[in-house]
Structure 1
Amino acid sequence: MKLFAVKVEEGREDVDGKPSVGPVYRNLLAKNDFPPPDSDLNTAWDAFRVSVDKYPGNRMLGWREFIDGKLGPYVWKTYREVYEEVLHIGSALRASGAEPGSRIGVYGSNCPQWIVAMEACSAHSLICVPLYDTLGSGAVNYIIDHAEIDFIFVQDKKVKELLNHECTHAQRLKLMVCFTSLREEDKDKAASIGVKPYSWNEFLHMGKEYPSELLPPQPFNICTIMYTSGTSGDPKGVILTHENIATSIRGIDIFMAQFEDKMTVDDVYISFLPLAHILDRMIEEYFFHKGASVGYYHGDMNALRDDLMELKPTFLAGVPRVFERIQEGVIKALEELSPFRRRVFDILYKYKLAWMNLGFKQKNASPLADLLAFRKVKARLGGRIRLIISGGAPLSSEVEEFLRVTSCAFVLQGYGLTETCGLSTIGFPDEMCMVGTVGSAFVYSELRLEEVPEMGYNPLGDPPRGEICVRGKTTFAGYYKNPELTRETVRDGWFHTGDIGEMQPNGVVKIIDRKKNLIKLSQGEYVAVEYLEKVYGITPIVEEIWVYGDSFKSMLVAVVVPHEGNTERWAHLNGHRGSFSELCCLNQLQDQILLQLKSTAERNKLRGFEHIKGVILEPQPFEVERDLVTPTLKKRRDQLFKFYKVQIDQLYHKLTGGRH
């Protein structure tokens, strides 16, 4: 058996009330100790500055502009051009009163100005505080106050959120700089609350007029405070130092060096995940370190394919829902083909998969299958994709296998949190035993599992299961202004992730559950709702599902967004007519979905109390705009409960016959 991690410390049984812990694992590249750092890479600023010296004429940041109402080709700024802007923006911040350690907000969707502001912070030892572009006034107000932000860069269409009367703490701001230009009414409104408004060009001009010496950071300085979008409660401010960022970049360098295919300056990444999310942030930091190119999507996820075809990226990263949609798109296209061509696709799929399972690299498994069928899948992604990475949540084995076979690219999963500066584990390309897992310990991480007795997870059992705990050089410095939460999550030097993992015999980790999404029913049974959502989510008629239960109820219910295509097929076969919304009102559809959920539960050997007893049908997907999911599409359970509370109460009343 091929091993992908090394055991550096044995586990131990529970002692003195402390839970049992499993063995400590490291990456094979860190068997004896963590690799030494790179002397030229001590801070995030070093990563960018060195690349400016090495690759001044390389394309760095790309974006699309509207020409006569239509999107034009990608326009690029070189490393040297970006560096010049960084110098001016940094000087303008210093001229405006920013001092080392000042918190600088960046609020808006991904664009070149976002990166210029971020690098300007690094150049002068300022602390960058990203704000998700999907945040409303309430969350923005909280972060401005909590992080004590005095200066903010803001996207033009987010200015109204910032100046909203609910955002009372905007008054503490000294200035705001718009990514483009400000409307006169916004300038007047900002000035009326004591905030100096600047357009991007005005601020650039100020920096040219008042140049300032650089004040580069030290490794121990805070680089960024990243507020996690949070599935409940107020956002948490995760403190990441320059050493965290630089170490993570160095670790990727070391990891990548062991493979035949190398990253080059010609690689291109398409950026559409929020820059306020650690996954996109670290990918871009790494691309800048390598002198490669980052092109930004134009802002419409529904038209992402147009950007893919125009940019022709070599690297694609996303959350599972992105890749589920890619698979759905391919399957939909297949349904439009003749039965013979669908059969040929299926034969070629199984043929290539068989060779990959025997150990052949995807590019050598079946060149004929790639030529006849799968190059068309690759073409849908722009035609040049070499590497696909999924993060943010576990990707299903079915979708991962499908992409590994059909995309003609390396496909792997990684696992990590903002608190671990992105990667805690990483998968290996061309290793089919990795399908459905998140890989093994990252180069600068140590991993172990800890017992969760209330869920029956034992890290010394067979298989070993427990809460994933991480320590190492990329682990965060703590939660900003929240020492209690820091002490609660970091114990004995180990960061407790809240995710439940299963350790495979080869040192690879599989995410199987979430500790925090554990609920207790009225009879005392513990239920892991996230696990159940994953199981029930494979039901053909289900597009999305949110499972609900609480300690005052003896049964589970769910809000289900039906799969539109499969619902319409059911309606056609059963003589029902109407729009999708009208179909979702039918009692017969409710009964059909409950029947299919029951079948899924029985097939997966779920216990009786894990069966769904009632459903609410929702024609609209759970959306960021309604604040029902985070920007990375994780369910906001508190918001979902508020949104559906009346219907849930009515459903329980109906299920219990009015008994309380």
Structure 2
Amino acid sequence: MSESSSSSNTSAALVGFLSDPATIAGLAAIAVGTAWYLSSRAPAPVKPPVAVDNQSLELTGGEHARISHFCKKNELISYRFEDARTLYECFQRGKRESNDSDCLGWRTGPKAPYQWMRYSEVEARAVAFGAGLSKLGVEPGQETYVGIYSLNTPSWVIVEQSANCFSRILVPLYDTLGPDAVSYIINKATISVVACHSSKVSLLFDQAEKAPSLKMLIKLDGAVTEEETQRSNETGITIHTMEEVERLGRENPVDLFLPTPENVATICFTSGTTGDPKGGILTHGNLVSNIAGAYIQLESLFSMNKEDTHISYLPLAHMFERVVQAMVFMCGAKVGFFQGDVKLLIEDMQALKPTLFASVPRLLNRVYDKVVAGASASPIKKWLFEKALASKNAELKRGIVRQDSIWDYLVFKKVQTLLGGRVRFILTGSAPISGKVLDFLRIAVGCQVFEGYGQTECTAGCSLTLPGDVSTGHVGPPMPCNRIKLVDIKDMNYFASNGEGEVCIFGPNVFQGYLKDPDKTAEAIDKDGWLHTGDVGRWLQNGCLKIIDRKKHIFKLSQGEYVAPEKVEIIYSRSTLVAQAYHYGDSLKSACVAIIVPDEVVLMKWASDKSIEGSFEELCKKEDVKKMILDNITALGKESGLKSFEQAKAIVLFSELFSVDNGLLTPTFKLKRPAAKTFFMESFVKMYSQLPS
């Protein structure tokens, strides 16, 4: 399923949230006097844990490094609880804190209720699975790498917890990397056993010749078929069911082989935009420090417990979702899994009623677009919606975020109900999110929304916005598990003395390096232990970090000027007309050009208002539409301080969203520039041919 269709279908359910004519009539009648009613019963603003105008401390020493206010005596945090210093101990703590309550939930169909396994049941199955692997000759300890190749399911977590019980190293295989990358990872990590979904069995058998270390498959769902038995005999790769392995473990128990904080927990392969995947080595200590950093920043307002529920739909192969789940387990809360189809995510949320929603900007942007489009369906709807937004926005600016105002009952309750009705905080990461969408979510969903920044190499996050801070345009202060400094990039005129430069991270959440790749490790981590991210940041006056650019993807135009395309793309994407942008420059040319994917909902409404007919694809081919969007982004670029040579002088409108499926995005939703360059080269050549020489 493509990312674009998934996001669109997920958010489409929100279009009709203001469609009841009777409701609209009633709303209009009682709108007068709402401001007094709201102000007379508004709750007190949320008090941030530190002053919002001074959110981090600059350390002495001349490096312009900054640290969290939560770090006592400037000491970085490695863990939050003495009894939770490895992932195994985090899960055990959660079992105790929850009094062995529900842990993992799933549903078997669209109308089915959620079923649950308690913490003790998950633990028992994990121990049995690990013992069963030992019986099959898979040794416990740090010499053993266990692959897992599946969508998010309870079985995924059981395999992960099993690895934690026996100090084995878990290596996720991306569902979208393709067979070449799968065999590469298996060989790089010398993986002998892979636990996999039934849909991946045939593909893994196909790796027999290319991945000679692979000796065993564990099928996570269903019985072994005759065809699979035949393939096993042909390839020499044995195959077992998860049920069989657990039964072996129960019949042949072995002692646990518990990890220490220094032991490796996982190898997370980053897809990258060029070359082979790189395997980031992450220890139990890396993960626990990252969990602790996030928990300490959030606990002043959100102390999770067994009543909290997280819906798991972001890939567990990525560290964002892994860290969120580990924090949930540490607190004794619950994880409910989506059915595996993002088109059914809203339905799953309504059934599960989660309190925590970890998501990514692309889906949240779709939600915003669909709701705004639905609210603009008639003048009355639009007036009422804007009145509600303005009123709650005034409260938001005072730090008030709630779900019990009159506007919530009359306008926003349907949005909240569609997300389950209990969401009390949203966490977003992986890409920038616009301030208007952040404000909208805080208003319409009525909950705190946090934005984080980081990468696999710092486990997941290194900065996170604070509870009670409703400002936008930044990714918060450093988390208490790391320091952050900015380093000069002279070629791009970024200097740490001006509060700008490459973002560098130091702390217990920084990874151990890339698996069997000392050269790339040395490129990432300097001799003093600082991780160089390749991102360009700026310190704001309030001590927060703002990501403004990307170091690696710069090109030089024929007149000698350097252009950082990602900076331009971020600015262009702030336009309501733009869903995605790809900025390009040829070193033999003096100008830049761009590929723009318009926002379909916004463009179709614009066309309707202008009485311009045609499908979305047809509109993207119209010269007047292209000129309108070019003028719009050029003006936006000028307002944002882009120099003339940085601006696109010509654009092509592309009607299909960049996605993993069409090969233009990595599995972590970053633009694959070499692939995109090849894909759009004909368009670039044509645009340059039409520009003045």
Give the TM-score, by structure 1 length.
0.91
Whether 2:402 is the aligned partner of 1:363: answer yes
Query: Closer, same or farther in 2 for the Cα pair 1:335/1:436, shift >3 Å?
Result: same
Report the alpha carbon displacement of residue 173 of structure 1 after superposing the two structures with TM: 0.8
Q: 1:80 aligns with which of 120, 134, 138?
A: 120
What is the identity, as a one-letter code, of the residue corresponding to 2:397?
N
> Which residue of the partner structure matches residue 38 of structure 2?
none
> Which residue of the partner structure matches residue 13 of structure 2?
none
Residues 558 and 612 in structure 1, CA contact (< 8 A), matched pair in contact too: yes
CA distance in 2, matches of 1:479, 1:151: 21
Q: 1:65 aligns with which of 97, 108, 121?
A: 108
> Which residue of the partner structure matches residue 515 of structure 1?
551
Report the alpha carbon displacement of residue 499 of structure 1 after superposing the two structures with TM: 1.2
What's the secondary structure of 1:371's corresponding residue?
helix
What's the secondary structure of 1:593's corresponding residue?
helix
Whether 2:521 is the aligned partner of 1:486: answer yes
Identity fraction in percent: 35
Q: Deviations over 1:177-227 (max 9, x none)?
A: 111034332332233111101122222222223322111112211111101
Give the TM-score, by structure 2 length.
0.87
Residues 369 and 601 in structure 2, CA contact (< 8 A), matched pair in contact too: no
What is the identity, as a one-letter code, of the residue corresponding to 1:286?
M
What's the secondary structure of 1:444's corresponding residue?
coil
Residues 82-101 of structure 1: matches in 2 within 5 Å?
82-99=122-139, 100-101=141-142
Residues 581-592 of structure 1: matches in 2 within 5 Å?
581-592=617-628
> Which residue of the partner structure matches residue 335 of structure 1?
376
Whether 2:78 is the aligned partner of 1:50: answer no
Moved more, 596-605 or 314-323: 596-605
> Which residue of the partner structure matches residue 277 of structure 1?
318
CA distance in 1, matches of 2:228, 2:652: 43
Q: 2:333 aligns with which of 286, 292, 310?
A: 292
Structure 2 unaligned spans of 5+ = 1-50
Q: 1:22 aligns with which of 43, 64, 71?
A: 64
CA distance in 2, matches of 1:640, 1:252: 35
Q: 2:304 aligns with which of 253, 258, 263?
A: 263
> Which residue of the partner structure matches residue 538 of structure 1?
574
Query: Closer, same or farther in 2 for the Cα pair 1:36/1:532, shift >3 Å?
Result: closer
Structure 1 unaligned spans of 5+ = 12-20
Could you say which structure has the higher strand fraction? 1
> Which residue of the partner structure matches residue 196 of structure 1?
238
Whether 2:579 is the aligned partner of 1:579: answer no
Whether 2:484 is the aligned partner of 1:453: answer no
> Which residue of the partner structure matches residue 23 of structure 2?
none
Q: 1:144 aligns with which of 186, 210, 215?
A: 186
Report the alpha carbon displacement of residue 414 of structure 1 after superposing the two structures with TM: 1.2
Residues 555 and 562 in structure 2, CA contact (< 8 A), matched pair in contact too: yes
What's the secondary structure of 1:240's corresponding residue?
strand
Residues 66 and 478 in structure 2, CA contact (< 8 A), matched pair in contact too: no
Residues 400 and 436 in structure 1, CA contact (< 8 A), matched pair in contact too: no
CA distance in 1, matches of 2:431, 2:350: 27
CA distance in 1, matches of 2:522, 2:424: 42
What is the identity, as a one-letter code, of the residue corresponding to 1:103?
Y
Q: Deviations over 1:99-148 (max 9, x none)?
A: 21211111111111111111111111100001122221111111111111
CA distance in 1, matches of 2:437, 2:292: 30
Whether 2:588 is the aligned partner of 1:552: answer yes
Moved more, 629-638 or 567-576: 567-576
Residues 56 and 66 in structure 2, CA contact (< 8 A), matched pair in contact too: no
> Which residue of the partner structure matches residue 318 of structure 1?
359
Q: Deviations over 1:42-71 (max 9, x none)?
A: 2111111333345463111111213xxx54
Moved more, 602-611 or 304-313: 602-611
Kindly report the root-mean-square deviation, in angstroms, between the aligned alpha carbons of the 2 structures.
2.2
Residues 595-610 of structure 1: matches in 2 within 5 Å?
595-610=631-646
> Which residue of the partner structure matches residue 215 of structure 2?
174
CA distance in 2, matches of 1:159, 1:527: 45
Report the alpha carbon displacement of residue 381 of structure 1 after superposing the two structures with TM: 1.3
What is the identity, as a one-letter code, of the residue corresponding to 1:363?
R
What is the identity, as a one-letter code, of the residue corresponding to 2:558?
S
CA distance in 2, matches of 1:142, 1:501: 34
CA distance in 2, matches of 1:168, 1:642: 31
Q: Figure out how many residues of one structure are paired with residues of the other and give that number.
A: 637
> Which residue of the partner structure matches residue 119 of structure 1?
161
> Which residue of the partner structure matches residue 436 of structure 1?
473
CA distance in 1, matches of 2:615, 2:542: 50
CA distance in 1, matches of 2:179, 2:560: 40
> Which residue of the partner structure matches residue 390 of structure 2?
350
What's the secondary structure of 1:373's corresponding residue?
helix
Residues 504 and 532 in structure 2, CA contact (< 8 A), matched pair in contact too: yes
What's the secondary structure of 2:667's corresponding residue?
coil
Query: Closer, same or farther in 2 for the Cα pair 1:593/1:187, shift >3 Å?
Result: farther
> Which residue of the partner structure matches residue 464 of structure 2?
426
What's the secondary structure of 2:176's corresponding residue?
coil
Q: Deviations over 1:258-284 (max 9, x none)?
A: 33x422211000111110111100010
Residues 162 and 170 in structure 1, CA contact (< 8 A), matched pair in contact too: no
